[in-house]
Every structure is written in structure tokens, then in C-alpha cells.
Amino acid sequence: MIKIVNEIKQFVKEFDYSLLDPNLEDKGLYKVIENSNFLDFLKTITEIDVYSQDIAEEFKNEDAVTGLSSIKILKSALNHKSYFFLQNLSDLIFSFDEDKGAIWSDFAENVKEIDLADTKVLDLGLKSKAKSDYADLRDIYEKKNPHALYPTSSYRESYGYTLSTKNYQHIEAVMGLKTFTTLKVQHNTLDPDVPLLRDIYKSLKRCVCLVDQNVEDNFGDKITDYFAHHGIKLEKLVYRAMEIDKSYENVGKILGDFKQLGVSRNEPVLIMGGGVLADIGGFACALYHRNTPYVMLATSIVSGIDAGPSPRTCCDGHGYKNLFGAYHTPILCITDKSFFKTLEPGWLRHGVAEIIKMAVVKDIELFEALEEIGTDLLTSKFGTSNCIKGDEIDKGSDKILGLALKSYVASEYDNLYETHQCRPHAYGHTWSPGFEIKAGLLHGHAVSVGMGLGAYFSYINKWISSDQMHRIFKLISKFELSLWHDILLDDECVWGSQVKMVQKRGGNLSAPLPKGEIGKCGYLNEMSKQNLFKYIREYQAIVAKYPRQGKGIEPLCSDVGLEDPGTVYRNNEEKVIEKTNLN
């Protein structure tokens, strides 16, 4: 098998850099296209399996992980506009050799200013002195490598095969999809000197941007100024995105906006907001053209380490959480804590629940980091308030965000389409979806109640010790999250939650719980109605000894200025009763 790292190093070493002379202008671009070393390298990166784990390991061993997204995009290099292609090529080379990468980057910036910037690499090749080579590539790739030639999107690739009986009356087909996501913990994304968004949208000449109303209120001018500074047309679509707005009606409105703006199926939409906008905006992108790429700029903790990178886009409906949805990952997810400084404590607190979730069942290092940093994480707003860049709280919060993000996607992405239910990231989400809306709880508090209850079930099953269980309780309580809500005494509601979850999980309960030790996961598959009610009341007595009798601070949506989603639940129940009486 080809060692792609060696090929890249050889190209970087042997390429004639005099061809990148800015004084050559468009002639310089043609000279690059015609160069034999360049053409050989182009064939290499368009013909290898860029999704191979072996190649990923090669890059990791070279400490060049930042170049992996670029080489995947370069798989379809022939279809790229020259500026976009050179931009990604310079990023790839930069991950191996910063000096040479900077030379290519400067060349890309020069090309951006000439008329050929929008000409595709293949079209340039067919007009160059090497036109016969590019024509041969085109003819070969039409049959053997169509993703490299005419991709619908540079961010995914399908594969499959079919076979049949000799009389063609029985046919079997297997199909699959390769896609990728890049995740970054980035500071101050809207600083004009940070090129991350510019590099995505400059060649497209515009950015269609879905923005949470709260984000627009606090950062609207910065968003506008960023794109104006880089000469990129901004199409801003502002949506209120409270929990009650997570409806298919709003998904439909977003789809209508996309149609009005003529969003292309290879044009990444930018979504800027929290968990609700991540869910409904991502769902709309999944539906539009059946698959439209999007970039997620997460402005809350929940969207930054959970809903933002999640492949599970969705909306609520008929009183149920996440009833409708599709699997659709962003091509890039940016977690930027600079947005956290405008969040009220209640929003920060509720977001931390999703970090604790991953710590308990996936990452003991993350759990210990949370124990060590404590509520300073909240009071400093993740190191964005009353802190100095580079101090302990700043570095500690970055570490926590990075660990949480890594733990989450490691659990989520090898089960992209939820084809099995061994899903550690569903800890705290087994019984809570059934009572969250009815109780009017913030999602994080509903999850923390579910986590506490799950830790007790784990203890009952002798999967963890009493000390481990209380260690989990203490961490949840320390961050002022809920261990208890009286909704747990609504037997019909809680049992109904379990019944619906078993249906949703293919006939299994498969409730993820800590097992063996904190940071490890097991799955509980049986819980009788009698034991469920019994254990809940035992759990109530234990957590009543914790601060606030186990209750969280500002646990309800209404406590942080949101409309009560419980009103939706109650209104739907009243409609059902009314309809039943009429019948």
C-alpha cells in the first residue's frame, strides 16, 4: 500500500517553488498545473482511499492530523475552483512543513486576485500544455473514480456493489457511505484575523447563515463585520431558538428560506447558535436537496460538545422529544468559548450536564478535571470572564472542552446511524426524555436527574460501589444540577418513558450506566415496573440528604426566561382528551 506521507514529503521537497512567483500571475498557475511533479501528486491524492484509517494513523504519527480534512477535500481536487484547491493544498502542506505551506498559502492569496481564481482545476488542465494528460484523467475517472471528477459534494463518498442470480430474479445490494467531520476548539472565530470561516466561504463568494436570535442580539454586528471585512456576501437568517421553537413548523420555515436563497447542495450553510438551532438547522440541511453540508459554529456548551457535532439532527413533535429527525453531521464543528461570556449561569450550568455525562461513562480524566476545577468553571464562564488568557482556569476549561468533545465523538461516530444501542453518550437519556417536556425542565437538568438515577441503578446492580455512586452525586450537586425532581413520583409518566424508550431502541432498554469504575460503561437491559417505582423512592431518600434536597438551581426552562415546553405537552393532552370525548 502506498505510504501517502512519504509521497507528500517527497512532493514538498522536490517541487520547483520558483513556479510560485507572484509576478507570474496567471502564467504561474498554468505552470503549476503543467508541472509533472504536481500532476503525479494530483493523481496520488485523487486515487487513494482518503478515508482509510491506515492513512489517518500515518498522519497522526507525523503529528499532521490537521491536514487530514484537507486531503479528504482534495480527493475531488479536479472539480475545485483553483483558489479553493490551492487553499486546501497549502493547508495540507502546512501540516507537514510550515515554511513550505506558507509559500503555497501566499500563492493561493495571489491567485485569489486573478480572473482564473474561479476556474476549476480540470478546466485549467484542459487548456494547458498538459491537456492530453488531463483529458486522459477525465476519461479514466468517469468510469473508475467519479467522486474525484464530478462530486456532488467534497465531503462524502458512497460505495457499494450488487450481484444477482443467473436468471436475474434475485438481486442483492450492499451500500455504504464515507463522510467526515472536523472538530475544532477555536477562540474568537469572528476576529477578522482568524481565517477559519473566510477560507470556507471566500471561494463561494457568499455565506448563508442561520443565526440564533440571542446570538444576533449579542454578536450580530461582529458577524456582519467579519464577512464584510473579507468581501463575502452574507445572507443572514435569524431565528428564535428556544426549546419550544424546536418544531417541524420551524424546520419548514428554514427550508423555505433555503429555497428562496437558492442554496446549492455543495454550499455549506453556516449555523451559529445553541443546541436547538443545531438540531433544527441541521435537520433542515439534511432534508434540503436530501443532503446539504453545513458548518456548525457552536455558541453554547450543549451545542459545543453535544448537539453541534452530533449526527442526530431533529425536532420535537406531538409532545415528544426528537420525534422527527435525520442523521446528518456537520462538515466542521467549531466550539468557541468566547461566546460563553454572554450566557447566564443557568445556561452554563445546564450545559455542563452533558460534559458530566461523558465523564461518568467514558473518560475518568475528564471526571477528575471537573472535580478539580469545580464551580470556577461556571463563575468564570469557562475562562472568558475575569480571567487572563493562559491562566489555570483558561487552560483548564479548554482541556475540559477538548476532552468532552473527543469523548463524545468517539462514542457517536463509530455508530453514525445508530445501528446498535451500545451508546455510552445516552447515559442520563433513558427515562428523562419522557418527563423532560412534561416537567418543563431544562434539558441539562432532566439529564442530570437521569444520570443520578442511573448511578443508583448501577449501585443496586453492584456495578459500582457506594463511594463511586456518591462521587457521581457530589459532582452533579457541586455544579448545582438536579439529582431530583418530583416528576419522578409520577409513576405513569416514568414507566411510560421506559416503554417508549424500549420501542425506540429496537425492543431493548439498553440503558448506559457506569460499570466497574467511573469512566467505564455497561448496559442495563431489564427493569421491572415494580422495581422501577421501588428504586426511585429509595433514590429519593438518599439524594434528599444532598444540598437543596437534591434539587438543582434554576432547573426549569421558565427559570431562565424560556417558555415552558410543558404547556405544549399539556395542550396536546387536552386535545387528545377532547377528541376522545367527542368520539
CA nearest neighbour of 480 among 559, 558, 537: 559
**Regarding the domain delimited by 420-567, which CATH topology (the fold level of the hierarchy) does it fall under?**
Dehydroquinate synthase-like, alpha domain (1.20.1090)
The CA-based angle 428-434-435, given to 5 degrees, is 85
Q: Is the pLDDT of residue 577 over 60?
A: no
Exposed, middle or buried by CB within 10 Å (0-12, 13-18, 19+), for 23? Answer: exposed
CA nearest neighbour of 331 among 282, 381, 403: 282
Strand order in the sheet with 332-335: 182-185, 332-335, 294-298, 269-273, 206-212, 233-239
How far does Cα 76 stand from its chain's mean position? 23
Reported as a pLDDT band with limits 50, 70 and 90, residue 70 is very high
pLDDT tens-digit readout, 105-142: 999 999 988 889 999 999 999 999 999 999 999 999 99
Q: Is the pLDDT of residue 104 over 90?
A: yes
Q: Is the pLDDT of residue 92 over 70?
A: yes
pLDDT tens-digit readout, 494-530: 999 999 999 999 999 999 999 999 999 999 999 999 9
Q: Is the pLDDT of residue 344 over 70?
A: yes
Mean pLDDT, the chain, rounded, equals 93
**Regarding the domain delimited by 183-343, which CATH topology (the fold level of the hierarchy) does it fall under?**
Rossmann fold (3.40.50)
Q: In which residue are the cell numbers 437538568 written? A: 445
pLDDT tens-digit readout, 365-390: 999 999 999 999 999 999 998 888 88
Residue ranges covered by each domain of the chain = 4-154, 183-343, 420-567
What integer pLDDT is reported at residue 579 of this predicted model?
44
Q: Is 298 helix (H, G, I), strand (E, B) or coil?
A: strand
Amino acid of residue 46: T
Collect all residues with Cβ–Cβ distance below 8 Å to 324 and sequence separation of at least 6: 248, 251, 283, 314, 315, 317
Collect all residues with Cβ–Cβ distance below 8 Å to 123 and sequence separation of at least 6: none
Q: Is 271 helix (H, G, I), strand (E, B) or coil?
A: strand
Cα distance between residue 411 and residue 52, in whole Å = 19
Reported as a pLDDT band with limits 50, 70 and 90, residue 199 is very high
Q: Is 70 helix (H, G, I), strand (E, B) or coil?
A: helix
Q: Is the pLDDT of residue 582 over 80?
A: no
Exposed, middle or buried by CB within 10 Å (0-12, 13-18, 19+), for 429? Answer: buried
Give the orientation angle of helix 432-439 with respect to helix 491-504, to 10 degrees.
Answer: 130
Collect all residues with Cβ–Cβ distance below 8 Å to 533 and sequence separation of at least 6: 491, 494, 495
Q: Is 516 helix (H, G, I), strand (E, B) or coil?
A: coil
Amino acid of residue 26: D
Residue 210 has φ and ψ, to the nearest 5°, of -90, 125
Reported as a pLDDT band with limits 50, 70 and 90, residue 576 is very low
Q: Are 67 and 59 in contact (CB under 8 A)?
A: yes
Reported as a pLDDT band with limits 50, 70 and 90, residue 580 is very low
Exposed, middle or buried by CB within 10 Å (0-12, 13-18, 19+), for 221? Answer: exposed
Q: What is the 3-state secondary structure (H, E, C) of 150-203?
A: CCCCCCEEEEEEEEECCCCCCEEEEEEEEECCEEEECCCCCCCCCCHHHHHHCC
What integer pLDDT is reported at residue 318 of this predicted model?
84
Instruction: Return the percentage of the chain with pLDDT > 90, whole number.
Output: 87
pLDDT tens-digit readout, 435-451: 999 999 999 999 999 99
Cα distance between residue 509 and residue 528, in whole Å = 11
